[in-house]
Structure 1
Amino acid sequence: MAQPFSIHIDKAVLADLRQRIAATRWPDQIEGANWDYGTNEPYLKELCTYWASAFDWTKQETYLNSFQHFKTTIDESGLHFIHHQGQGKTSIPILLIHGYPDSFVRFLTIIPLLTQADEQGFSFDVVVPSIPGYGFSDRPTEPGMNPKKIASLFADLMDELGYPKFVAHGGDWGSSITENLGLYHADSLLGIHLTDVPSQHALMPVDDPTAAEKKYLQQRQEWMQTEGGYFQIQSTKPQTLAYGLMDSPVGLAGWIVEKFKSWSDNDGEVEDAFTKDELLTNITLYWVTQTIHSAIRIYYEARQDLQQSQHNPLMKLNPFDKTGDKSTVPAAFALFPKDISSPPSEFAERFFTISRWTKLARGGHFTAMEEPELLANDIREFVRSLRQSGRTTITL
């Protein structure tokens, strides 16, 4: 049964963090390199100086605790989640699933936008879990915590909360987990809302691709060659990487902030899209919970699952394995121009039953943080369309 949970980080942990930042042995950087070789050293020094001397974790902790946090145990896995009920006369339950390298903080700004009632008295009951291995959810102690397993845990969580039917939304790993909810728990889904096509589909063979699909798949291959180094190491040797990231806060910050800069809609500066406090609240959560190693292991677990589905003869004959199948649950896509991929609709239609396909004017990978109003409005319009199509009998 879910129990209220409050975030409290011991001052000794924060003091140790500041000491480690001060003791950092910094690398050099080629003059004029900017971000070409990776995280820009002058910016990272600026960010970490602020982290050690001016960043107010107590203020951020108070803000985080202004949301209603809970913990529960599902199938022996401890799950942390935020749960806010809607203020409208009619509220639809919605599960919001984050990705990497963010956390549940991805959705903090959008929660009040969804829980408030619109002019028709319609709102959402919002549930935001931390993926196992992230934040305040338990770190998995056994192999196999892949998106299929996580989808099952989240379906059971929603059922425990009294939501046998709900909408699910996700981006990054959240989109993969949401897809698996649609594949394996379709009876529980009113609809699914995604900001990207899960990346595994670009790694699988495609029969008779269209010209647009060929171009997209070529772009994904090129992206993996130039930007996918993190993906390769996290999906093959995550433990090797973990030693440095667990021991050095500057190393952790450098590993994470580069993605926020590269994957967001900005004018060349990461702080065009995020404040230092936003960046550091997310990074600090990884540090104080000691979860960067358990977080990146999802890449390994997903890769193992995909390889088994593709290459293990027994898995290919398994009638319960739905890898690569098309979900029948109504799906909406909200595509933001500076996200890391731009799939054509016909590629998405191979795997999803699309009822809404929207290209937004601005925003990147971390849409709920960058453009919460645009995302919230698109989610609302999608759920209204479910009512019009007869998917739900709830009056909106």
Structure 2
Amino acid sequence: MAEKTKKLKAPVKPKRSWAIPIVLSSLATVGASYYVYYLLNAPPDMPKVNLEAYWGQYPMNPKPDQSIRPFKVEFSEVMINELRNLLLHRRPFAPPLEDVGFSYGFNSNFLTRVLDYWQNKYNFADREKFLNKYNHYITNIQGLDIHYVHVRPDVTQDVEVVPLLLLHGWPGSFREFYELIPELAPKQEHNFALELIIPSLPGFGFSQGPARTGLGSLEMAVVMRNLMERIGHKKYYIQGGDFGHIIGSIMATVFPENVLGFHSNMPMVFFHPMATFYTLLGSIMPSLIVEPEIYDRIYPLSKQMSFLLEETGYSHLQATKPDTVGIALTDSPAGLAAYILEKYSTWTNPSNKRASDGNLLSNFLLTHLLDNVMVYWASNSITTSIRFYVEALGSRQMGYKLDRIPTKVPTWGIKFKYEMFTQPDIILKLKYQNYLHTTIVDGGGHFAAFESPKILAQDVLQAIIMFREFWGVSKENVQDLPQPEPDMATSVHEFTVRDIYGRTIKLDKYKGYVLLIVNVASQCGLTDKNYEQLNELYNKYSKSRDFRILAFPCNQFNSQEPGTSKDIIKFMNKRNIEFDVFQKIEVNGENAHPLWKFLKRVQSGTLGDFIKWNFSKFIVDKNGIPVERFGPNVDPIDLEPHLGKYW
């Protein structure tokens, strides 16, 4: 019998596994991505700093005068007569094109008006006196005579004096801080006072310019650090915008042991590769990158880039051929005024360029603007000031990569609506590791100290309070005063509270004012109408009738005030709240603030003394006595006739 043929099965090939290549590929991708991310974020080495670099004329004095000498701004008769003569005999200007406003530059028709005012109405003697109202000094730092304004506070010995270095930019000067100074004066609610040091940057105003190349942003930061040490300050705060921001940022980076806090009104990280990446990503996925309040200040990128290309031509000129333009501006007061003041128009609000007068006089007084021009004219410093662009934007300075070196110095920024450069906080935190807060202002532009001194000063003071808290200084470094017994008190003036910034406030500061005290919340159905009308009442009567509003956030009613003090501050800034807001408290129960226990005792409600809901309101007369009480259903604006009884 024939054998049956056995069919042999083909050997089974093992199935190929794709898992390992996929895993390896993923790991390689992750590794490569991390490596690229590391390259983009790895901080470079700190540049070597020469604290004794010499910038003056040779031969070097072996025993330089390092004293601090008094200085006076002087508008001499010779200089005034020469200036008036140049203004009088200026050549006729080409007339502007029809309906161009300032879009072609400074409108020559309006310039004629400015120059006539400068020649005939600008009071040189009065302005010289004004500029000398504060103490000025000169001292030699690294071979250069450095000028600064020094404002010391007049306070008692129990008040701590802390130094604040105020740094200007171009085309600014020390003059732009003069309206800011009184706003930073000691306040009753603070237990610290600011000592202000306001230098002219080297080559600007009455500070001597360098005799050779190389004095860039880093080197200027060294000069400012040495100036503060010469004055006697090893630790201090810094505020700056424009070049003041750049120099202040470098000081916080290179000298963190000296800088206690850095406040900027132009917070920027200019040269960081991740900043570019985040900016581009924000145009695609804005919710991941940019705060909604500032989205339209950055995007669309095409609009922003077009604006910057149009407005930064001066920078390229000054960074390449400063002496050429400097010669023209040194020889012509008309050219100097047009060149400088045009920036105060467009950089305050880009839409100003459509106006025939650049809307200059809508934001500034012509006398004040000409004060700043006079600083450049009287000191003959326009050329030395714009030379700084060559040094600051040159390859040597870029090579330091200072924007990629992080700093732990606490930092605070304020973003005005029409500032030329705006960045989201996610970019700022690449460099400023302790970036504490951003204040967003729905208005204002590049020259914050000049245009918005009250807003800027309030923000600087808030920042310094937070900086002090960051370093472990107790809030205002004072203990709460013992509160009176609510059952025994006779006036709200006997109580003490904390404001939203943590400052201790004695309510006797409101003696002589009619008060409206209200508990508020930011997420209540009554919020919009009440805040809008409270603002309206405050703006209408705070100056004309000695009226104040005291708002106390409270989270006891359906948890409609859940945020932190920082959240509440952000809410206030968004709504431009000007009346006084205090820290979150309880108004009912055992933990109710003693002030509110007193208010409820004196003015009990119809259904009991407890507070029923958000936006309950108490009117307090000028003697501090609660005289009327209104429920949440009463709109603030309807209180006008009731308030009128107590003016």
In the other structure, the counterpart of 1:41 is: 108
In the other structure, the counterpart of 1:351 is: 431
In the other structure, the counterpart of 1:283 is: 373
Match of 1:329 among 387, 401, 409: 409
In the other structure, the counterpart of 2:455 is: 374
2:107 is equivalent to residue 19 of structure 1: no
Q: Which amino acid aligns with 2:431?
A: F
In the other structure, the counterpart of 1:79 is: 146
* Range with greater deviation from structure 2 (349-358 or 57-66): 349-358
C-alpha displacement of 1:287: 0.9
2:177 is equivalent to residue 107 of structure 1: yes
In the other structure, the counterpart of 2:330 is: 246
Within a 5 Å distance, the mapping from 1:115-134 to structure 2 comes to: 115-134=185-204
C-alpha displacement of 1:235: 1.0
Match of 1:384 among 453, 465, 468: 465
Whole-angstrom CA distance in 2 between matches of 1:359 and 1:217: 20
RCO higher in structure (CA 8 A, sep ≥6)? 1
Change (3 A) 1:279 1:223: same
Contact 2:268 / 2:422 at 8 angstroms: preserved in 1?
no
Whole-angstrom CA distance in 2 between matches of 1:97 and 1:144: 20
Change (3 A) 1:245 1:395: same
User: Which structure 2 segments of 5+ residues have no match?
Assistant: 1-66, 290-297, 479-647
Whole-angstrom CA distance in 2 between matches of 1:395 and 1:222: 49
Whole-angstrom CA distance in 1 between matches of 2:96 and 2:410: 49
In the other structure, the counterpart of 2:339 is: 255
In the other structure, the counterpart of 2:392 is: 302
**Structure 2 length normalisation: TM-score?**
0.57
Within a 5 Å distance, the mapping from 1:131-150 to structure 2 comes to: 131-150=201-220
C-alpha displacement of 1:171: 0.4
C-alpha displacement of 1:5: 0.8
Contact 1:190 / 1:391 at 8 angstroms: preserved in 2?
no
In the other structure, the counterpart of 1:339 is: 419
1:296-346 CA deviation, whole Å, 9 max, x = no partner?
111111111xx2355xxxx57xxxx63532222111001111221222111
**Structure 1 length normalisation: TM-score?**
0.91
Whole-angstrom CA distance in 2 between matches of 1:252 and 1:202: 35
In the other structure, the counterpart of 2:477 is: 395
C-alpha displacement of 1:83: 0.8
Whole-angstrom CA distance in 2 between matches of 1:125 and 1:346: 33
Whole-angstrom CA distance in 1 between matches of 2:148 and 2:397: 30
User: Which structure 1 segments of 5+ residues have no match?
Assistant: none
User: Which secondary structure state, in structure 1, belongs to the residue aligned with residue 423 of structure 2?
Assistant: coil
1:345-374 CA deviation, whole Å, 9 max, x = no partner?
112222223111111233211111111111
In the other structure, the counterpart of 1:273 is: 363
Within a 5 Å distance, the mapping from 1:89-238 to structure 2 comes to: 89-198=159-268, 200-201=270-271, 206-207=276-277, 209=279, 210-211=281-282, 212=286, 215=299, 220-238=304-322
User: Which secondary structure state, in structure 2, belongs to the residue aligned with residue 375 of structure 1?
Assistant: helix
Whole-angstrom CA distance in 2 between matches of 1:60 and 1:172: 26
Q: CA RMSD in A?
A: 2.2
User: Which secondary structure state, in structure 1, belongs to the residue aligned with residue 430 of structure 2?
Assistant: coil
Whole-angstrom CA distance in 2 between matches of 1:219 and 1:61: 43
C-alpha displacement of 1:122: 2.4
C-alpha displacement of 1:38: 0.7
In the other structure, the counterpart of 2:617 is: none
C-alpha displacement of 1:389: 2.2
Whole-angstrom CA distance in 2 between matches of 1:170 and 1:298: 17
Contact 1:167 / 1:190 at 8 angstroms: preserved in 2?
yes
2:67 is equivalent to residue 67 of structure 1: no
* Range with greater deviation from structure 2 (363-372 or 124-133): 363-372
C-alpha displacement of 1:395: 2.9
Change (3 A) 1:362 1:122: farther
In the other structure, the counterpart of 1:57 is: 124
Whole-angstrom CA distance in 2 between matches of 1:128 and 1:358: 23
Q: Which amino acid aligns with 2:392?
A: A
Whole-angstrom CA distance in 1 between matches of 2:244 and 2:197: 13
1:204-261 CA deviation, whole Å, 9 max, x = no partner?
9734543157848655532331111111101111111111111111011110111001
C-alpha displacement of 1:107: 0.5
* Range with greater deviation from structure 2 (357-366 or 47-56): 357-366
Give the number of equivalent residue pairs: 386
